[in-house]
Amino acid sequence: MDYTLKCTRCTKEYGPQSTAFRCKLCKSVLEVSYDYSTLELNAGFRNEVPSSQKYVQFLPLSTPLRTLEEGSTELKAVDTEELLGDGSVKLHLKIETENPTRTFKDRGTAVEITKAMELGFSDVCCASTGNMGLSIAKYSRHFGLSSTIFISKDANTEKLRKIEEQGAKLEKVDGDFNDSLVLAEEFARYNQNFLCGDYHYRKEGQKSLIFEMLDQLGYQVPDYLFVQVGNATLLSAIYKGLKEYKKAGLIKKVPRLIAVQSES
Ligand SMILES: [Zn+2]
């Protein structure tokens, strides 16, 4: 589909070739905004076998997705008679630890790495608390890009070791995630790096989680969807994916989304 990058606050639009990761006027985050009149879905789209390439028409890409076979994770039915004492409730769990680096982050990373390569970048960077950094390090190495990960020096040492093992340059930050974020954005700007992280392209990649679930449920939209949240970027990606499928006529309703966050 044709698309622009649209500011989520002041609605200024940028072309698909723009490398901006924030609005140049108001510094807010951007979002990929599609022109649905350019969508050309096969009549049998819903029956096509789910795969990472199946959903490319809902992605802002002009080349095939660079994939490490992320996605296609199990949707596991839970025995609700045993768990809740009410077998009439249907409950499913999406097992995202089946992804290459064991988190949903790989879905977004595949799109970011593909986009970085389409735009001609050979270096990427990001701020991370661990999981995203590992995912970006692994995909970068596989597809021949160099990666620099900004991470708090107090991060879990096992995570730091795994990221380094993937050949990434580690920048240990004397501060928290927000300090890492500021440094990564500056580094990207001054070193012509493609900035990975919770920006518009990652959000697009994470939509595949809900697209896949709908395939696995035979397009029967669940009543409720529970999503664990930190910054709620996955929840926001799922909501965007649902709205887009509704616009494309693939589903008629959107489930009620429930965000679940740890108390502390
Ligand atoms: Zn703006």
In a domain, 36, yes or no: no
CA–centroid distance, residue 18 to ligand 1 (Å): 14
Query: What is the C-alpha to C-alpha distance for residues 184 and 195, in angstroms, rounded to an integer?
Result: 7
Average of per-residue pLDDT values in the chain: 96
**What is the residue type of 111?**
V
pLDDT at 206: 97
In a domain, 111, yes or no: yes
Would you put residue 55 in left (φ > 0), alpha (ψ -120 to 50) or beta?
alpha
Residue 230: pLDDT above 90?
no
pLDDT at 38: 94
CA–centroid distance, residue 19 to ligand 1 (Å): 15
The percentage of the chain sitting over the pLDDT mark of 70, rounded to a whole number, equals 100
Of residues 68, 71, 253, the one with CA closest to residue 143? 68
CA–centroid distance, residue 106 to ligand 1 (Å): 28
CA–centroid distance, residue 198 to ligand 1 (Å): 17
In a domain, 71, yes or no: no
Residue 231: pLDDT above 90?
no
- Residue 56 has a CB neighbour count (10 Å cut-off) of 17
Question: Once rounded to an integer, what is the mean pLDDT over residues 147-173?
Answer: 95
pLDDT at 167: 96
pLDDT tens-place string over residues 89-126: 999 999 999 999 999 999 999 999 999 999 999 999 99
Q: Which helix (H) or strand (E) holds 260?
A: strand 256-260
pLDDT at 264: 75
CA–centroid distance, residue 146 to ligand 1 (Å): 30
In a domain, 159, yes or no: yes
CA–centroid distance, residue 22 to ligand 1 (Å): 8
pLDDT at 89: 94
**What is the residue type of 239?**
Y
Question: Once rounded to an integer, what is the mean pLDDT over residues 183-192?
Answer: 97
In a domain, 4, yes or no: no
pLDDT at 136: 98
Q: Fill in the DSSP letter of residue 16.
A: T
In a domain, 82, yes or no: no
In a domain, 33, yes or no: no
pLDDT at 42: 87
Residue whose token pair is 């795994």? 162
**β pairing state of 30-35 and 2-7:** antiparallel
pLDDT at 51: 87
CA–centroid distance, residue 203 to ligand 1 (Å): 18
CA within 13 Å, CB half, 137: 25
Residue 49: pLDDT above 80?
yes
CA–centroid distance, residue 32 to ligand 1 (Å): 13
pLDDT tens-place string over residues 50-82: 888 899 999 999 999 999 999 999 999 999 999
Of residues 25, 51, 1, 34, the one with CA closest to residue 200? 34
In a domain, 84, yes or no: no
pLDDT at 235: 97
Contact 177, 184 (CB under 8 A): no
Structure tokens at 214: 């709908």
CA–centroid distance, residue 235 to ligand 1 (Å): 22
CA–centroid distance, residue 25 to ligand 1 (Å): 5
Residue 257: pLDDT above 90?
yes
Packing angle, helices 233-247 and 208-216, rounded to 10 = 60
Q: Which helix (H) or strand (E) holds 182?
A: helix 177-191
Give how many domains the chain has, as a whole number. 1
Query: What is the C-alpha to C-alpha distance for residues 39 and 247, in angstroms, rounded to an integer?
Result: 10
Question: Once rounded to an integer, what is the mean pLDDT over residues 198-208?
Answer: 97
Query: What is the C-alpha to C-alpha distance for residues 56 and 111, in angstroms, rounded to an integer?
Result: 10
Domain of 152: which CATH number?
3.40.50.1100
Segments forming the whole domain that contains residue 109: 105-200
CA–centroid distance, residue 109 to ligand 1 (Å): 25
pLDDT at 258: 98
Q: Which helix (H) or strand (E) holds 105?
A: helix 105-118
